[in-house]
Chains A and B, each alone.
Chain A
Amino acid sequence: MANSLRRQFVLALAAATPFMAGFGSTGPVLAQDGAIRLGIVAPMSGPNARYGAFSLRGAQLAAKEINDAGGIDGRKIQVFSADSQGTPVEGVSATRRLISQDKVDFLIGDVSSSVTLAMQPVVEDAGILLINAASSNPKITYAAGVGGFKWSFRNYPTDENRALVVAQYAAEKRGFTKFAVLSVDSDYGRSAIEFTKKYLPRFKGQILTEDYYKEGEVDFRSVLAKIRDSGAQAIIMYGLADTTPIVARQMIEVGLAGKIPLIGNGEFNTEKTIKSAPKAMEGAVEAAAWLPAYDSDKSKAFVAKFTTEYREAPNNHAYVHWETVRLLGKAVEAAKSIDRAKVRDALKSIKYDSAVGEVTFDDHNQAKLPMILLQIEDGKPAIKGAFYADIDYPR
């Protein structure tokens, strides 16, 4: 018996391995002459699939807009998509597939920091231009530009900025000093907490409990009960959008709702999340790169266009991918070529007029961007301001 059981296990593992590989690449498409070949690496399945769907739609919308307007100097943007499943292993093979099979010159990806960190050496070896649009781990651009990787850029604010903005607001405006941590167990969730710890002493804050959840976790009762009994005044959560409603619902169950707010990031401000547990989300504080309610003409025009196209309001990931494809378009226009090195040099000195302000890149290939702080009041997100912070690169 024990023997046959072991055999079953080995077989199961052997059989399962190839199947874990991804599906979802759009397959070979005949190249148009001189087209701008752009690969999008995003989680199209798995726990972050929602992010991936929004990302791809945002990128496709931007490509469609540009192509409908005649392209860039007559060149159309051709979008290729590959599924990272939100894991570094799949992300790297998706990246390789796009580079070697679809012959892309430019890449945008991934959403997850863990995946982006793994993609960086791959694009560096291949000499393909990567513009990340949605990962917030500071290490990505610590290691780019003068930090090492010449082909990695990021058009997204980092967790360092976010952690500071959130900690400051929680301490100064809400008067919190005792915190519980409940973040996702990933490079994003852990690094956000690392930087929160760097700034908390400045505001006399302390962390009472610290827990990290795995992607796909559904049972938070134990840890929420522990937080309830710990005397914490707020839960610092850098989490996943799909998990926030689960946590919020269980906060109501264990009697935390309305007493301890969530602060951090994890799509606290979408209608869907708030509707799932209005009592638990009231008073939640979130720092986001962008949100649909952002007040600028360009941003509002994007929301309107996306909503008509897909019959769903865009999220942050849709916006950043839309904006980054347009940014790439501008860089190609400025370079007057689709030569990768020329486009890269154009990007370094670009002054791009985005929906949240002018974008320039520093010597670490990191875009200077604001973080927008908002609080849920009466079931609706209220914007509390936009904050820039200079990044203190380690020497």
Chain B
Amino acid sequence: MLFQLSEQIVNGLVTGSVYAIVAVGMTMIFGVLRAINFAHGEYYMLGTFGAWVAIEYFDLPYPLSVAIGVIATALIAMVVGQLVMRRMVGMPAEAGVLATLGLALILQNTVILVFGGGYKFFNGGYIEPVTVFGISLAEQRLLIIVICALVFVGLELMVTHSRIGKAMRAVSQNIECCAVVGIEVRKVVVATFVLGAALAALSGVLTAPVNVSVYGGMGELITFKTLPIIIMGGLGNVRGTFFAAMILGIAESLVATYVGLQFRDTVGFATLMLVLMWRPHGLFSAQARY
């Protein structure tokens, strides 16, 4: 009983790590743009496809395919950032919603057009099971947890110590003041956007070996799972996102075990409704930031 519970918590931590890496990018983009990026899951999908192409067409080893998936997505995000996202600064919320939803459709359907709508088989990664404290899980899942921890430590250091990180925080606090003191707001916005998209891609590439299937529509579910997390964590709040992702991951895992697998997806959406009703500014902050 206790063993089962701890096994499910570990499962939840793995799921939570995947969510956390995707969601942190989305929450940072919200921070600088004040717009929810509805195309965020598509970058997760693009990263996975990039790695899949590298493995399937060029026979490259998995670690290299991870780099290719992330870099390819970052390049696409750079183009999108220059053409679309930088124009969103100071625009009303509607513009951001329409632009990102439109982007989601374009990215998704381009991939379906090029590679077909069927599921592809992702052949890579470290799927051999290992046993840790009696719990058997694929090596890849341990890798996901480790990389998630590294990503968050890295982000924390970046936003507190590096120049661009400080600029990101500044822009997320007050765009006008940033412009006044000479911070190039649009550049910061594009940089944040590319970073967020690359993180989503990283999450996709890391999960692909254990999720096996790769297909054009795979990002949609991720976008909608990420929404409750960033709202629970407090929009723009990096640390809050981490804990919110872990909470959702563990809650989903417990519901799947003790209530039934068919109720798993309801956890996120139910949480979203409750949080919007009672704590629209998130679980971890007493007041709204924006």
The chain A residues found within 8 Å of chain B, CB to CB, are 1-2, 4-8, 11-12, 15-16, 19, 23, 44-47, 49-50, 52-53, 182, 185, 210-214, 216-223, 225-226, 229, 242-243, 245-246, 249-250, 252-255, 272, 276
Partner of B129 from A229, A252, A272 at Cβ < 8 Å: A252
Given A2-B280, A8-B36, A276-B121, also A214-B265 (CB < 8 A): yes
Partner of A222 from B11, B112, B262 at Cβ < 8 Å: B11
Chain B residues, Cβ within 8 Å of A2: 276, 280-281, 288
Instruction: Tell me the bound Cα distance from A96 to B212 in angstroms.
Output: 36
Instruction: Tell me the bound Cα distance from A260 to B281 in angstroms.
Output: 47
- Nearest first, the 5 A-B pairs at minimum CB distance are A2-B280, A49-B117, A222-B256, A211-B261, A45-B117
Partner of A53 from B36, B116, B212 at Cβ < 8 Å: B116
Does B215 count as interface, using CB distance less than 8 angstroms? yes
Residue with the highest number of chain B CB atoms closer than 10 Å, among A8, A211, A253: A253
Chain B residues, Cβ within 8 Å of A5: 36, 231, 235, 276, 280
Q: List 9 A-B contacts (CB under 8 A).
A: A4-B93, A5-B235, A7-B94, A47-B217, A49-B117, A219-B264, A245-B212, A254-B129, A255-B136
Q: Which of B63-98 contact A (CB under 8 A)?
A: 93-94, 96-98
Chain B residues, Cβ within 8 Å of A242: 118-119, 213
* Nearest-CB residue, chain A, relative to B253: A222
Q: How far is the CB of B64 from chain A (nearest CB, A)?
A: 22
Chain B residues, Cβ within 8 Å of A218: 207, 210-213
* Nearest-CB residue, chain B, relative to A210: B260
Partner of B138 from A50, A182, A253 at Cβ < 8 Å: A253
Chain A residues, Cβ within 8 Å of B146: none
Instruction: Tell me the bound Cα distance from A23 to B106 in angstroms.
Output: 13
Does B7 count as interface, using CB distance less than 8 angstroms? yes
Q: How far is the CB of B259 from chain A (nearest CB, A)?
A: 10
Partner of A12 from B38, B213, B257, B280 at Cβ < 8 Å: B38
Q: How far is the CB of B44 from chain A (nearest CB, A)?
A: 12
| Contact assessment for B98 and A222 in the assembled complex, using a CB-CB cutoff below 8 Å | no
| Contact assessment for A1 and B281 in the assembled complex, using a CB-CB cutoff below 8 Å | yes
Q: Which of B22-48 contact A (CB under 8 A)?
A: 34-36, 38
What are the interface flags for B189-212 relative to A under an 8 Å C-beta threshold, 1 for contact and 0 otherwise?
000000000000000000100111
Partner of B101 from A12, A226, A246, A249 at Cβ < 8 Å: A12
A-B contact count (CB 8 A): 144
| Contact assessment for A222 and B257 in the assembled complex, using a CB-CB cutoff below 8 Å | yes
Does B8 count as interface, using CB distance less than 8 angstroms? yes
Chain B residues, Cβ within 8 Å of A272: 121
Q: How far is the CB of B31 from chain A (nearest CB, A)?
A: 13
| Contact assessment for A8 and B215 in the assembled complex, using a CB-CB cutoff below 8 Å | no
Chain A residues, Cβ within 8 Å of B288: 1-2
Q: How far is the CB of A117 from chain B (nearest CB, A)?
A: 19
Partner of A225 from B4, B97, B216 at Cβ < 8 Å: B4
Instruction: Tell me the bound Cα distance from A50 to B281 in angstroms.
Output: 42
Does B274 count as interface, using CB distance less than 8 angstroms? no
Q: How far is the CB of B284 from chain A (nearest CB, A)?
A: 15
Q: How far is the CB of A18 from chain B (nearest CB, A)?
A: 10
| Contact assessment for B117 and A253 in the assembled complex, using a CB-CB cutoff below 8 Å | no
Does B57 count as interface, using CB distance less than 8 angstroms? no
What are the interface flags for B127-169 relative to A under an 8 Å C-beta threshold, 1 for contact and 0 otherwise?
1010000001110000000000000000000000000000000
Q: How far is the CB of A55 from chain B (nearest CB, A)?
A: 12
Q: How far is the CB of A254 from chain B (nearest CB, A)?
A: 6
Instruction: Tell me the bound Cα distance from A49 to B213 in angstroms.
Output: 13
| Contact assessment for B101 and A16 in the assembled complex, using a CB-CB cutoff below 8 Å | yes
| Contact assessment for A246 and B213 in the assembled complex, using a CB-CB cutoff below 8 Å | yes
Does B177 count as interface, using CB distance less than 8 angstroms? no
Chain B residues, Cβ within 8 Å of A185: 262
Chain B residues, Cβ within 8 Å of A250: 210
Does B270 count as interface, using CB distance less than 8 angstroms? no
Extra A-B contacts (13), CB below 8 Å, given A5-B276, A250-B210: A2-B280, A8-B97, A11-B93, A16-B101, A45-B216, A53-B117, A182-B261, A211-B256, A219-B264, A229-B4, A249-B210, A249-B212, A253-B210
| Contact assessment for A225 and B257 in the assembled complex, using a CB-CB cutoff below 8 Å | yes
| Contact assessment for A15 and B264 in the assembled complex, using a CB-CB cutoff below 8 Å | no
What are the interface flags for B98-127 relative to A under an 8 Å C-beta threshold, 1 for contact and 0 otherwise?
100100010001001000111101000001
Q: How far is the CB of B218 from chain A (nearest CB, A)?
A: 8
Does B58 count as interface, using CB distance less than 8 angstroms? no
Instruction: Tell me the bound Cα distance from A214 to B7 in angstroms.
Output: 23
Chain B residues, Cβ within 8 Å of A252: 127, 129
| Contact assessment for B8 and A222 in the assembled complex, using a CB-CB cutoff below 8 Å | yes
| Contact assessment for B262 and A214 in the assembled complex, using a CB-CB cutoff below 8 Å | yes
Chain A residues, Cβ within 8 Å of B97: 8, 11-12, 15
Does B221 count as interface, using CB distance less than 8 angstroms? yes
* Nearest-CB residue, chain A, relative to B256: A222
| Contact assessment for A253 and B212 in the assembled complex, using a CB-CB cutoff below 8 Å | no
